[in-house]
Structure 1
Amino acid sequence: MMRRLFEWVDENIQAQAFLPSNPFLKALGYIQERKDGLMVYLDDPDVPIDTNHVERVIRAIPMGRKNGTFCWTELGAQQIAIVQSLLATCRLHDVNPYDYLVDVLQRVGEHPQARVHELTPRVWKTLFADKPMRSDLHHAHGGIKDAG
């Protein structure tokens, strides 16, 4: 059904029956420009209709931008951005950031490079979250309270 809609949109744009300033033509162009994203949404029922959930999670990143001015170097600011992105992704997937970072930082040296995607918060949650690697501090002090 939707494929037919996109075909109809393409046909009407190619027909050039409207002036470029016509609002209908602009609407068709809008649909045509977003075809790939719309198809992902329509083909996968797990894809949300909007990105509001992501925008809420990353709201803290612009707030931390001012702190980035104290990073001394551009590389330092980039590293902070990477960490903020990881933390936001952890929150997005209901992963405890402390458990995630402790586990991944211990695991990364021995984890196969070809499977590095397994260390992203989303995949890590399904593979390692049930039994995360712990730091020596965790074991020495009978566990560390939730850092959330």
Structure 2
Amino acid sequence: MIPQTASWTELGAEHLGIIQSLISTCKLHDINPYTYLVDVLQRISQHPASEVVDLTPRLWKTRFAENPLRALIDPRHPGRQSKQPEAVHAH
């Protein structure tokens, strides 16, 4: 059990555990956790729910690691940006 302080909740501890587990799994598979999380957080909204297992670190590495989506502003890779939908302007 995680000791609780004024700023901790059981739900927060559960979410922290999930994030720590993903980061640890990335490291076990020699995946940069930042690259993985940036890619998956962009990809997940359009990925079929029935194939969500593809986004686990182990399978993500075989399917998406060679060409990951990047943050819109990624100083490490200025030429590689994710493709974002164009903004719709109201007229």
CA spacing shift, 1:120–1:131, aligned 2, 3 Å: same
- The alpha-carbon deviation at position 137 of structure 1 amounts to 1.0
Map residues 44-59 of structure 1 onto 2, 5 A cutoff.
Answer: none
- The alpha-carbon deviation at position 104 of structure 1 amounts to 0.2
Partners of 2:6 and 2:59 lie apart in 1 by: 33
Report the TM-score when normalising by structure 2. 0.76
Equivalent residue for 1:118, pick from 22, 33, 54: 54
Which of structure 1's runs of 4+ aligned residues deviate more than 4 A? 68-71
- The alpha-carbon deviation at position 143 of structure 1 amounts to 2.1
Specify the SS of the correspondent of 1:136: coil
Q: C-alpha deviations, 1:54-73, integer Å up to 9, x for none?
A: xxxxxxxxxxx67x746521
Instruction: Give the aligned residue type for 1:77.
Output: A
Which has the higher Rg, Structure 1 or Structure 2? Answer: 1
Partners of 1:105 and 1:112 lie apart in 2 by: 14
Partners of 2:69 and 2:28 lie apart in 1 by: 21
Corresponding position of 1:78:
14
Greater RCO between the two (CA within 8 Å, min separation 6)? Answer: 2
Corresponding position of 1:129:
65
Equivalent residue for 1:97, pick from 16, 30, 33: 33
Corresponding position of 1:143:
77
Q: Is the 8 A contact 1:118 1:127 kept in 2?
A: yes
Q: Is the 8 A contact 1:86 1:121 kept in 2?
A: yes
Partners of 2:28 and 2:76 lie apart in 1 by: 29
Map residues 54-73 of structure 1 onto 2, 5 A cutoff.
Answer: 69=5, 71-73=7-9
Q: Is the 8 A contact 1:117 1:123 kept in 2?
A: yes
Partners of 2:20 and 2:9 lie apart in 1 by: 17
Q: Count residues with an aligned counterpart.
A: 77
Percent of paired sites with the same residue: 53
- Identify unmatched segments of 5+ residues in structure 2: 79-91
